[in-house]
Structure 1
Amino acid sequence: MAQPQERTPHRATAESLLPLLGGAGNITSVAHCMTRLRLGLVDRSLVQDEALKGLPAVMGVVEDDTYQVVLGPGTVGRVTPEFERLLEEERSAEPAAAPTADGLAAQGAALKAERKRRNATPVKLFLRRIANIFVPLIPALIGCGIVAGLAGLLTNLGWVPAVVPALAAIASGFMSLIAVFVGINTAKEFGGTPVLGGAVAAIIVYAGVAQVSVFGQKLAPGQGGVLGALGAALLAVQVEKWCRRWVPEALDVLVTPTVTVLVSGLATLFGLMFLAGEVSTAIGEFANWLLATGGAFAGFVLGGLFLPLVMLGLHQALIPIHTTLIQQQGYTVLLPILAMAGAGQVGAAIAIYFRLRRNTSLRKTIKSALPAGFLGVGEPLIYSVSLPLGRPFVTACVGGAFGGGFVGLLNQLGSAVGSTAYGPSGWALFPLLKGTSDLGTTIAVYAAGLLAGYIAGFLLTYFFGFSKQMRADLNTPSKDTATATKAVDPTAAQETEAARAPAGDDARQPAAV
């Protein structure tokens, strides 16, 4: 007999979630990202949304290709294993499935497919697949970026013992082979053999390509970078699929890998590397030109539009650009500016906290979500506070725009601030900062940008975030926030649902703001 599971707070949270999600029989898959528990469901109608949102541990729910329960950073990583264990216990205790279970599963799958068909557009689906290629690389980028920062700090302090070259090697090893990992993930995502995608992408970083001439010019190892690796692996997938259709099974194990690597490899060497190299160079030059000439205006626009891009799932298009800039220059100048959107969100939440002094429920939510907001995880504040209220979401965006404008201005004046990895934001970005100035100046510029975002988001929300009627309806201890929101702004709930539907992953990507 199995030993009873110790009832920890995270176990209690899992036990509270499961019945409201329709029970163990309604769960088909379990995963989690930085802040969300991601679930596949058999029958969406069995989920009790309002009851879920009312649980103390739940900061919000998001519906995308999976049903996502926002639990916050740290918590979700501890609740998910408990939830999985609880599922196993429930299923092992259940009797054999009734004859109608397959029919119910088929019905649920059909409903899910229909929902995805109606809500997903080709562009968003493609961007999501591109994000699926790069998001798994974030942990390595963060780890190597922090090690690189430590090596740089020791060098700047004039302390260069034998450990500094070792740290540099640790930090640079992954980046030198990132094209291979992109090739592997691309093939996996688009239905090919991962190792073949990696093999073709490895051509790009092979030192021997320097002996190959294209259009009268010698190729350079790494030319084309991650974009070249992405294109090479995509081509390899198509060649492999063609071979699988036409090559006899008896010869498949020999012919398919050989033709895939040969055809894709030649195309990579004599076309893709050159073209991807030109595109990569253009991206780097454009990013530098944009901030060097646009300065405050470019930063203002980027910082102000990032939250809406996250809500629409379009921020995923920036992930390959961040990766390209990091590979070219050692850091991405875009991420610190985009991170200012989270600062505006935090400032807006603090303003709401002081503006609605008698709304104890909303103030409690803000207090619990603010620590994550300072660390760059803004989804709890977005979905539980600013977005349902309507106006404060807009003032939060404008607050982020002021922070982005400040960082953009300093970039134009010669103090560019960049990040050696994408993903973290807010205070969590400090260990990853790198720029054209010394480390102290770079940190000071980024910190001042955050402060500008906090202050602007606070002042704009405090003075312009509420109408008199909104304050009267919301600033009461008795009314539920969601109910009051609907009464004040009937379109707010509809806008919230429309924004939630296509929301992408946080974290990863720099979605967590």
Structure 2
Amino acid sequence: MDVKQIASQLVPLLGGKENIVSAAHCATRLRLVLKEDDKVDKKAIENLDGVKGAFASSGQFQVIFGTGLVNKVYAEFVKEAGLDQNNEEVVDHQEAVKKKMNPLARFAKTLSNIFVPIIPAIVASGLLMGLLGMMKTFEWVSGDSAIILFLDMFSSAAFIILPILIGFSAAKEFGGNAYLGAVIGGIMTHPALLNPWGLANAEPEVINFLGLNVELLGYQGTVVPVLLAVYVMSKIEKGTRKIVPNAIDLLVTPFVTVILTGLITLLVIGPLGTIVGEGITTILNFVYDNVGFVSGIIFGGIYSAIVITGVHHSFHAIEANLIADIGVNYLLPIWSMANVAQGGAGLAVFFKTKREKTKQVALPAAFSAFLGITEPVIFGVNLKYRKPFIGAMIGGALGGGYVVLTEVVANAYGLTGIPMLAIVAPLGATNLINYIVGFAIALVSAFVATWLLGFKEEEN
């Protein structure tokens, strides 16, 4: 496959160099911000060698190539399109994307940019917690063994310093200094503040500050307070920098930013953010406990439709808050069923279609969904033929209902499909078995529903 030729063919079909604002890529897709989307010849792009699908979503025009190939195409594409990625005049891709989004999508994109980089740390901690739990349960080693102490330290560290991780990532996203964001997170987890992580009935010390009683309570493992604090920090930093002379900026701006943000955080933002975070958890718990499997059916059925809008990226913040408050994530199994169902529908398309190109796209896209990456099968196959997408929604609803009914949970976020077994298994054999059963229900029901609904193949 000649990637240089693909890139040269792609540029004119996108409306030419002058229509391309910026480019980036993820694991499977070339992501483009264009001046005018109506100049794109979508059908011609989909017929290019190596292209598995194309669609416009979340302010971007995206071309699906698949893992491995997309990196090579991107390298040639930026040369062909004249996008020198080292040129400071090139518009930042993320900012260009946001400018084309509505406020809700922009908010979701912001949360996604903050939490996606943190996923590896959360997943690693979840796996370590699972290993620690199994070692204790099956008594593989003595309870006072050094390895138990080490694993306890390794598994809890990411959650204890979560405000620091979020502070660093959020400051970058909000346009502030990332290291000052980490400092704010450090203030919120300072040893002088009571660490509530793992302590059920501990009472914090109360001190008087300017007539106000302030609880010396830390924010280890929290999400909402640090997001609010760093957002305020970035505003203070930018405002201070505008009025401070360049000669003393390095001395004055960080000092003013940290002292003002620190005081506002401990006096106002921290307590307020905790109330908001606990409120979100309370509402979710109420729905989960009282509506039961119906909520799983609804969320499992509509999740893939939410994926199309891009708003699903904001769910990472909610899931992180659940883990911080109650120690488990009961939303991720539902999302996973929806993803698996998309793969099941894509598999049905593979066996039912008579077009060779569709088969070439459907099979790898389906297996990609089983590994947690659904965009190729959603946009390249199921949504393209419509009825398979409906079949996948049916499968996601049934699978989602089952995992809620059987109370399947995970101890992290960021993994779905087959990889999610790693963060489900540590919570018990029953939890693992029910997840596998839900996986099978979602896959098979989506496959059968798609097969029965059928779909009209496009003429070549």
- TM-score, length of structure 1 as denominator length: 0.75
Q: Secondary structure at the match of 1:433?
A: helix
Question: What's 1:366 paired with?
Answer: 362
Distance 2:60 2:227 in 1: 26
Assess, with a 3 A threshold, how the Cα gap between structure 1 residues 13 and 460 changes in structure 2: closer, same or farther.
same
Alpha-carbon RMSD: 3.4
TM-aligned CA deviation for residue 91 of structure 1: 7.6
Give the 5 Å matches for 1:435-454.
Answer: 439-454=428-443
**Change beyond 3 A, Cα 1:375–1:183:** same
Deviates more, 1:369-378 or 1:19-28: 19-28
Q: Conserved in 1, the CA contact under 8 Å of 2:300 and 2:396?
A: yes
The code of the aligned residue for 1:71 comes to: F
Alpha-carbon contact 2:316-2:414 (below 8 Å) kept: no
Return the match for 1:208 from 151, 176, 192.
Answer: 192
Q: Residue in 2 aligned with 1:494? A: none
- Structure 1 pair 401/89, CA: closer, same or farther in 2 (3 Å)? closer
In structure 2, runs of 5+ residues without a counterpart are 195-204
Cα shift at 1:123? 1.9
Equivalent residue number for residue 300 of structure 1: 297
Aligned AA (1:50): K
Cα distance change of structure 1 residues 154 and 397 upon mapping to structure 2, 3 Å threshold? same
The reply to whether residue 34 of structure 1 matches residue 12 of structure 2 is no
Quick one: distance in 2 between partners of 1:49 and 1:213? 64
On the 8 A contact 1:20/1:48 being kept in 2, the answer is: no
Q: Secondary structure at the residue paired with 1:418? A: coil
Aligned residues: 435
Q: CA deviation at 1:22?
A: 2.1
Shift of 1:151: 2.8
Q: 1:113, 1:159 → 2: CA distance? A: 51
Deviation, structure 1 residue 217:
6.7
Task: Give the CA deviation at 1:115.
Answer: 9.5
What is the aligned partner in structure 2 of residue 420 from structure 1?
A: 411
Instruction: Please tell me whether residue 259 in structure 1 is matched to residue 217 in structure 2.
Output: no
Q: Does 1:70 align with 2:61?
A: no
Alignment of 1:80 onto 2:42? no
SS at match of 1:338: helix
TM-score (normalised: structure 2) = 0.83
Q: Does 1:460 align with 2:444?
A: no
* Separation of aligned partners in 1, 2:265 and 2:218: 12
CA distance in 1, matches of 2:397, 2:373: 18
Amino acid in structure 2 at the alignment position of 1:33: C
Q: Residue in 1 aligned with 2:139?
A: 158
Residues 322 and 422, structure 1, Cα contact 8 Å, conserved in 2: yes
Cα gap change, 1:85/1:310 in structure 2, threshold over 3 Å: closer, same or farther? closer
1:42-101 deviation per Cα after TM superposition (whole angstroms, max 9, x unaligned):
8878866434322453222233444432233x425xx42674378569989x9xxxxxxx
Determine if contact 2:214/2:267 at 8 Å carries over to the other structure.
no
| Secondary structure class of the residue paired with 1:421 | coil
Would the alpha carbon gap of residues 395 and 328 (structure 1) be closer, same or farther in structure 2, given more than 3 Å must change? same
Alignment of 1:336-347 (within 5 A): 336-347=333-344
Q: Secondary structure at the match of 1:419?
A: coil
The answer to whether the 8 Å contact 1:325/1:331 transfers is yes
Q: Structure 1 residue aligned with 2:119, among 132, 138, 146? A: 138
Q: Which amino acid aligns with 1:453?
A: A
Give the match's secondary structure for 2:373: coil
Partner amino acid, structure 1, of 2:316: I
SS at match of 1:196: helix
> Residues 224 and 276 of structure 1 are in contact (CA less than 8 Å); yes or no, is this contact kept in structure 2?
no
Is 1:396 the counterpart of 2:362 in the alignment?
no
Q: Distance in 2 between matches of 1:89 and 1:362?
A: 28
| Counterpart residue identity of residue 362, structure 1 | T
Paired residue type of 1:138: I
Counterpart in the other structure of 1:493: none
1:180 and 2:172 aligned: no
Kindly indicate whether the alpha-carbon contact (under 8 Å) linking 1:340 and 1:453 is maintained by their aligned counterparts in 2.
yes
Is contact 1:352-1:461 (8 Å) kept? yes
Between 1:47-56 and 1:455-464, the stretch displaced more is 47-56
Amino acid at match of 1:311: I
* TM-superposed deviation, 1:159: 0.9
**What amino acid is the match of 2:241?**
R
Contact 1:355 1:462 in 2 (8 A): yes
Contact 2:365/2:376, CA 8 A, preserved across alignment: yes
Report deviation, 1:237. Answer: 0.9
Contact kept? 1:224, 1:275, Cα under 8 Å: no
8 A Cα contact 2:225 2:274, kept in partner: yes
CA separation of 1:277 and 1:347: change in aligned 2, threshold 3 A: same
Check if 1:234 corresponds to 2:197: no
CA shift, 1:421, in A, is 2.7
Per-residue CA distance 1:291-311 (angstroms, 9 max, x = gap) = 222211011111111111111
- Give deviations 1:276-320, integer Å, cap 9, x for gaps: 112222333333332222211011111111111111122133121
Distance 1:347 1:318, change over 3 A: same
Query: 2:160·2:221 contact (CA, 8 Å) conserved in 1?
Result: no
Over 3 Å counting, the alpha-carbon distance change for 1:355 and 1:38 in structure 2 is closer
In structure 2, the residue corresponding to 1:443 is in which secondary structure? helix
Which stretch shifts more, 218-227 or 16-25?
A: 16-25
In 2, distance between residues paired with 1:80 and 1:131? 22
Higher RCO (CA-CA < 8 Å; seq separation 6+) = 1
Q: Matched residue of 1:68: which SS?
A: strand
With over 3 angstroms needed to count, the CA separation of the structure-2 counterparts of 1:459 and 1:40, relative to structure 1, is closer
Secondary structure of the corresponding residue to residue 6 of structure 2:
helix
